[in-house]
Amino acid sequence: MKKAPCAELAELRSAFVDGALNNTDRERLLSHLVDCAECRRDIEDLRAVRELLNQAKTQPGPTPSDLSLRLVSIAGSDSVAPLWTRPFRRTPSSRTSRTGGLPSHRRIVKLRITGAAMAIGATIAAMGVVGYAAAPSLAPIEDPTSAAQAAFSSALGQLPLASDALNAVMLADSNGLSAGMSPRFAAPTGATGPRLTPAEAKTAMQRAADAANSISYSGHQWFLANRTGGAIVAQIDVEARAGQGSQVMVVGQTGKQLLEGFTPALISSRVVDDELLALLERNYRLAGSQGSSVAGRSATVVTATRDGSDPAAARWWIDDATGLVLWQETYDKDGSVDLSFGFSSVAVSRANGTLEHLPPRLAVPPTNTSLTLSSATELTASGWFCPRKLAGLSLFRLRSDRPESPDTVHLVYSDGLATVSVVEQRGKLAAAPEGSQWDSALGAYVRQGASGLATWQWNDVVFTVVTDGNSAVLADAVASLPHGAEQTPTTLGRIKAGWSRILADVKG
């Protein structure tokens, strides 16, 4: 059985026989005829029929066959018109209302543009459907505070004047740390020796920063934080090895062990350390005196004031022999103690022996990818909130859970003294964080312990703020971040999110 000629080229074949094809369509048909025997046979048949019709019309000689006469009688007056014009003919009734005619070049161009526009529209619609379907739904976030505290503790551990006691207490259960009154412990003595110039005070702070990762020591520490509703008190046993990390145990006021774990030594960036010390120097005036004592060791006291006069904002007692920070205190604007922590006994060694029988690591932060601060612009364009300044504090560290299309972003701000950590997570806050209360003034769930903590939902992001500062620092930071009624994602936004996810999966 022979294969039928290509139906979509029927008009072109008829026009070709009549010599009415333009150059483009002629080349197209000739290219097709090279490989299509059925269409070539159809053209031969059309030529034969056309020849018979021409003979019937022009030659009076021989009588045409019955088939030719029958075809001419059926066609009538249209028998003399080329076959390829048939699609453009009009019925008698239509000729009275419309003017028929052959397709012009302008009409052909218009048809092609219309077809291309329809194809583009169909493609865009298909891409929209795919992007909308691929858009990730908001994952429920049960309680983001543990992860946020782990990220905050990790950030504190990388500061130039990091304290093992402060890092560990920030992770401990605040309920086990509460006490009705402040504990009695041997506070460091005041300085009675010569005063330091601002340059000497800065040198002492730089020496303390350099000693943080190069001194091995063990000892017993006290921690006190004055918070609304009472004091937060803890005792800490710490054993640190230079280059390895610290083994820490936190005990509450009643003697109950609240936390035990290991914090690995983190590689400190001298650039970041210098930047933080420069922030401290820009925002505070440094002064100092010699002749103090902590845990039986002679120390130099460095004081930071906000405007060069009392009250002090913070003090550090720095070991004269090693540069180790033996004690630290921060104060509120009235000069009252906010945080106070340091050694009641300490043994310093320059030996770097290996710690044995290490307990589990204290905390593993959810953000393990370090980003440059310049990435804040790109993250902001992707819907994250990444200001360079927050409540007067400067952004100095930026991390995420992965390099491309992250679900969690961690920003750390400081003025050289107070530290504010902001964790942003894509998702839906499932319930109020444990132990927190809704604060209508701040618009967040708030929990006050050794650290101040606030959590709230904004659009598709859950914000969690943690700080070692007082309640005023927490309130300023929370107020500087976005709040408002939850907004339903737009269709375009969902499509964009879907394609971002697809591209991220393609990149791997």
Beta strands in 320-418 (DSSP E): 325-331, 337-349, 369-371, 389-390, 393-400, 408-414
Spatial CB neighbours of 251, under 8 Å, sequence gap ≥ 6? 234, 235, 236, 237, 257, 258
pLDDT category of residue 96 using cuts at 50, 70 and 90:
very low
Tell me the mean pLDDT in the region 237-258.
Answer: 84
- Of the candidates 387, 466, 377, 462, the one whose C-alpha atom is nearest the C-alpha of residue 426 is 462
Cβ burial, residue 109 (10 Å; 0-12/13-18/19+): exposed
Same CATH fold assignment for domains 145-349 and 365-507 = no
Segment among 62-76, 109-123, 409-423, 435-449 with least mean pLDDT: 62-76
Domain ranges of the chain: 7-96, 145-349, 365-507
CA distance readout (Å), 263 to 348, 363, 364, 410: 19, 8, 9, 19
Other beta carbons within 10 angstroms of residue 265's beta carbon come to: 16
Note the pLDDT of residue 130: 75
- Average pLDDT taken over every residue of the chain: 82
Tell me the per-residue pLDDT of 106-164, one tens digit each, with 9 for 90 and over: 778 888 888 888 888 888 888 877 766 766 667 889 899 989 988 888 888 777 777 77
Q: Which residues pair with 327 in a beta bridge?
A: 317, 342
Note the pLDDT of residue 98: 46
- The dihedrals phi and psi of 14, each to the nearest 5 degrees, come to -65, -45
pLDDT category of residue 93 using cuts at 50, 70 and 90:
very low
| 418, pLDDT greater than 80 | yes
> How far apart are alpha carbons 487 and 494 in whole angstroms?
13
> How far apart are alpha carbons 188 and 130 in whole angstroms?
66
Tell me the per-residue pLDDT of 166-220, one tens digit each, with 9 for 90 and over: 788 888 777 777 655 555 667 788 888 899 999 999 999 999 988 877 888 999 9
CA distance readout (Å), 273 to 245, 280, 326: 18, 11, 19
| 388, pLDDT greater than 70 | yes
| 482, pLDDT greater than 90 | yes
Tell me the mean pLDDT in the region 237-244.
Answer: 85
- Of the candidates 69, 172, 28, the one whose C-alpha atom is nearest the C-alpha of residue 11 is 28
CATH architecture of 145-349: Clam (2.50)
pLDDT category of residue 58 using cuts at 50, 70 and 90:
low
| 92, pLDDT greater than 60 | no
Note the pLDDT of residue 97: 44
Amino acid at 331: Y
Segment among 228-237, 391-400, 442-451 with least mean pLDDT: 228-237
Q: Is the dihedral of CA 473, 475, 476, 482 positive or negative?
A: positive
CA distance readout (Å), 148 to 104, 198, 199, 259, 393: 70, 36, 37, 17, 19
> How far apart are alpha carbons 134 and 29 in whole angstroms?
44
Note the pLDDT of residue 354: 61
First to last CA, the chain: 54
Virtual torsion, Cα 136, 138, 142, 143, nearest 10 deg: 90
Tell me the mean pLDDT in the region 354-381.
Answer: 79
Tell me the per-residue pLDDT of 77-91, one tens digit each, with 9 for 90 and over: 666 666 555 555 555
Beta strands in 1-152 (DSSP E): 140-141
Which token pair is 394?
A: 């400067």
| 435, pLDDT greater than 90 | no
Note the pLDDT of residue 262: 82
Of residues 169 and 71, more confidently modeled? 169
Which token pair is 483?
A: 């709040």
Tell me the mean pLDDT in the region 240-248.
Answer: 83
Q: Which CATH number fits domain 365-507: 3.30.1660, 3.40.1000, 2.40.128, 3.30.70?
A: 3.40.1000
> How far apart are alpha carbons 249 and 236 in whole angstroms?
6
Note the pLDDT of residue 490: 67
> How far apart are alpha carbons 322 and 111 in whole angstroms?
86
pLDDT category of residue 94 using cuts at 50, 70 and 90:
very low
pTM of the model: 0.68
CB 236 within 8 A of CB 246: no
Tell me the per-residue pLDDT of 314-359, one tens digit each, with 9 for 90 and over: 999 999 999 999 999 999 888 888 899 999 999 998 666 666 655 6
Note the pLDDT of residue 33: 87
3-state secondary structure (DSSP) of residue 44: helix
3-state secondary structure (DSSP) of residue 493: helix
Segment among 149-158, 255-264, 352-361, 388-397 with least mean pLDDT: 352-361
- Of the candidates 433, 401, 439, 412, the one whose C-alpha atom is nearest the C-alpha of residue 146 is 433
Note the pLDDT of residue 201: 93
Which token pair is 239?
A: 């054993």
CB 386 within 8 A of CB 409: yes
CB 46 within 8 A of CB 13: yes
Element (H, E) at 222: strand 216-227
Amino acid at 95: R
| 43, pLDDT greater than 80 | yes
Backbone φ/ψ region at 422: left (φ over 0), alpha (ψ -120 to 50), beta: beta
Which token pair is 407?
A: 């679900």
pLDDT category of residue 464 using cuts at 50, 70 and 90:
very high
